[in-house]
Amino acid sequence: MLRSLYIQNYALIEKLDIDFSSGFSVITGETGAGKSIILGAIGLLLGQRADVKSIRIGASKCVIEARFDISAYGMRPFFDDNELEYEDECILRREVYSSGKSRAFINDTPASLGQMKELGEQLIDVHSQHQNLLLNKEGFQLNVLDILSHNEKDLDVYQALYKEWKQAQQDLEDLLAHAEQDKSDEDFIRFQLEQLEEAHLLAGEQEELEQEADTLSHAEDIKAGLYRVNQTLYSDEGGLLAGLKDCLNTMLGLQKVYVPAGEFAERLESTYIELKDISQEVSDREEEIEFNPARLEEVNERLNLIYTLQQKHRVTTVEGLLSLAEEYAAKLSAITSSEENIEELKTRCDSLYNKVKSQAAILTKSRTLAAHEVEKQMAARLMPLGMPNVRFQVEIGVRKEPGVHGADTVNFLFSANKNGTLQSISSVASGGEIARVMLSIKAMIAGAVKLPTIVFDEIDTGVSGEIADRMADIMQEMGESDRQVISITHLPQIAARGCAHYKVYKQDNETETNSHIRRLTDQERVEEIAHMLSGATLTEAALNNAKALLGL
């Protein structure tokens, strides 16, 4: 529960540090004194969006810090899951800078706003007047049933199946769209693939053909050149090989009388053998080379086909064309098998849909049981609040298609009169009736979720007298059993019932206005309630009436 609240440089608050007690407490103050400012600061601790305009003029940042006693609420799993240090006293702090930046801390450890929001929702529930509008929202009504039916696990299972089903539906839609597009492209893809396949392309053939084309184009020059080389090497008259042979024989003859001649002979012999091999190869190649216009035309036609295909498909190699052919083949295969894939995905969608419906039926059953309990509890709670003939009914319908929270529609029907027609609560209930209904719902939910702290912001709007007294009974009862209830009120009947009474007030000086809050002493409570009864002027009758309300 909330133990203390510290606020610095937020709106009209320069510095505020207040302790809170357990049980039922009340906060009073004139309109505009700053009660909503305090609620706004608490909202920042619940992960609400920060506005730099809320920083006190002249300050560089504002700080809001709250201390909670969480020892009795089993919240260790949250801290373990988020790798945060657990302590029985939990500190939430939010800092908002004039630059627009915001920082959040849990037990002095930096945390995300998502983590702060998740934890804050488990620590404190703030019911402001605008929340009365939730009564006409189906999501709120459905949530009431889910809380009271304790169907969290079933709802988690359903939402996992629902998410899977919706994803399968999306996959099917995408596949159908692609299949339709592919069918329109099928003829084009098939034509392109057939053209590439008819070319019978081979990796590396372009380089070989280009080399062959160069050779065929210069066949006469090559043949003449090879002939000249061969003649130079092997001619009977003046050929290099004949001269080299004579040199070799000379050195062989000299080696007996001149030792170095033996080494020269070896080298000349090696050179002679190498040149003889070269001459033989040149001669063979000369015989192979012939001018073949038919083959040259054939090679050029093949190259032109390759160049045309490369230009058409915007690639520069035969390997690129082969890769493209593989892509076309894969696309055609996918088109061919798409109908089979579509049927498989349709079957999967149908199977998941049946699972979703089955799990939704489990939710419907638990909600139907909870609805009967809600009807009984709401009637029992509203009758003492000045509605002796109240009728409250939970209408559960069926959605056209399952939604993220199930297949149910929920509508709270209400009639304050015995013979009145049951209608949606938001369309027939008055402001005071809606306040009483919301208080009853909150009291009912509080018993199910065991929230440590509940704050009511003027939930008593539109009621007075005995009804206000009964509403105070409910809030006082809610403040028991390790729960803290804080009510911001303008009604003396409710203010007198608090175990602790806090007053919000403003103080003006020459340069600024400050909002403050403090806990009232017993005597100050008498005077505050007397003011709430009679206005600015304190009368003896008002003081006596205040004492009577306080049981003094």
- Answer yes or no: do 311 and 455 share one domain: no
Spatial distance between the Cα atoms of 528 and 458, rounded to a whole number of angstroms: 17
Q: How many domains does the chain have?
A: 3
- 459, 528: one domain: no
- CA-nearest of 3, 17, 10 to 94 is 10
* Contacts (Cβ under 8 Å, ≥6 apart) of 152: 146
Domain boundary among 310, 335, 360: 335
Same domain, 3 and 114: yes
CA distances from 224 to 47, 230, 287, 334, 396 (A): 92, 10, 11, 58, 103
Question: Quick one: average pLDDT of 223-234?
Answer: 87
Tell me the sheet residues that pair with 66.
5, 92
Please indicate, yes or no, if residue 16 is contained in any of the structural domains. yes
Whether residues 114 and 19 fall in one domain: yes
- Identify the pLDDT of residue 309: 93
Residue 143 lies in a domain: no
With beta carbons less than 8 A apart as the criterion, state whether 470 and 441 touch: no
Residue 131 reports pLDDT greater than 60: no
Q: What is the mean pLDDT of residues 43-59?
A: 87
Which pLDDT score is estimated for 107? 92
User: How far is Cα 393 from Cα 376, in angstroms, rounded to an integer?
Assistant: 9
247 lies in a domain? yes
Token pair recorded at residue 12: 């009209």
Per-residue pLDDT averaged across 471-489, rounded? Answer: 85
- Residues in CB range of 171: below 8 A, 6 or more apart: 345
* φ, ψ dihedrals at 57, nearest 5°: -55, 130
Calpha distance 358→396 (Å, rounded): 17
Amino acid, res. 507: Q
d(CA 322, CA 203): 8
Confidence label for 302 from pLDDT (cuts 50, 70 and 90): very high
pLDDT exceeds 60 at position 130: no
Name the burial class of residue 309, with classes exposed (0-12), middle (13-18) and buried (19+) by CB atoms within 10 angstroms of its CB. buried
Question: What band does 233 get if pLDDT is binned at 50, 70 and 90?
Answer: confident
| Last residue of one domain, picked from the residues 313, 335, 357 | 335
CATH of the domain at 474: 3.40.50.300
Distance CA 523, CA 516 (A): 19
Same domain for 215 and 243, yes or no, is yes
Stretch 523-550: mean pLDDT? 88
**Torsions phi, psi for 259 (to 5 deg):** -55, -45
Q: Is the pLDDT of residue 20 over 80?
A: yes
- Give the integer Cα–Cα distance in Å for 248 and 270: 10
Contact present, 279 and 231 (Cβ < 8 Å): no
Does residue 187 contact residue 193 with C-beta atoms inside 8 Å? no
CB 523 within 8 Å of CB 552: no
Q: Domain ends where: 335, 352, 367?
A: 335
- The verdict on 189 and 327 lying in the same domain is yes
Report the percent of the chain where pLDDT is more than 70.
96
184: pLDDT strictly greater than 80: no
119/190 same-domain check? no
Is 238 or 361 the better-scoring residue by pLDDT? 361
pLDDT band for position 27 (cuts 50, 70, 90): very high
Q: Which pLDDT score is estimated for 137? A: 67
One domain for residues 476 and 533: no
Query: Does a structural domain hold residue 48?
Result: yes
Three-state secondary structure string covering 80-108: HHCCCCCCCEEEEEEEEECCCCEEEEECC
Residue 352 forms part of a structural domain:
no
Q: Mean pLDDT across the stretch 365-374?
A: 93
Question: What are the tens digits of pLDDT across the range 454-478?
Answer: 888 888 777 777 888 888 888 888 8
Q: What does the longest C-alpha to C-alpha distance in the chain come to?
A: 156
Q: Is residue 81 located within the same domain as residue 199?
A: no
Query: Is 25 among the domain residues?
Result: yes
Are both 225 and 302 inside the same structural domain? yes
Rounded to an integer, what is the distance from CA 360 to the centroid of its chain? 25
Give the CA distances from residue 400 to residues 354, 359, 409, in Å, rounded to whole numbers and listed in that order. Answer: 15, 16, 10
Using DSSP, state whether 423 is helix, strand or coil: strand
Whether 186 and 317 share a structural domain: yes
Domain that holds residue 510: 1-127+450-520
* Distance between CA atoms of residues 415 and 433, nearest Å: 10
Element (H, E) at 466: helix 465-478
Q: For the sheet containing 13-19, what is the strand order? A: 13-19, 2-10, 61-69, 89-97, 102-106, 109-111
In a domain, 407, yes or no: no
Domain annotation covers residue 273? yes
Say if residue 192 is in the same domain as residue 329. yes
What tens digit of pLDDT does each residue of 86-125 get? Answer: 999 999 999 999 888 999 999 999 999 999 998 988 888 8
Taking the model in full, what pTM does it have?
A: 0.64
At 336, list the tokens: 């061919």
Q: pLDDT (tens digit, 9 = 90+) per residue, 400-447?
A: 999 999 999 998 888 888 777 888 876 766 777 888 888 888 888 876
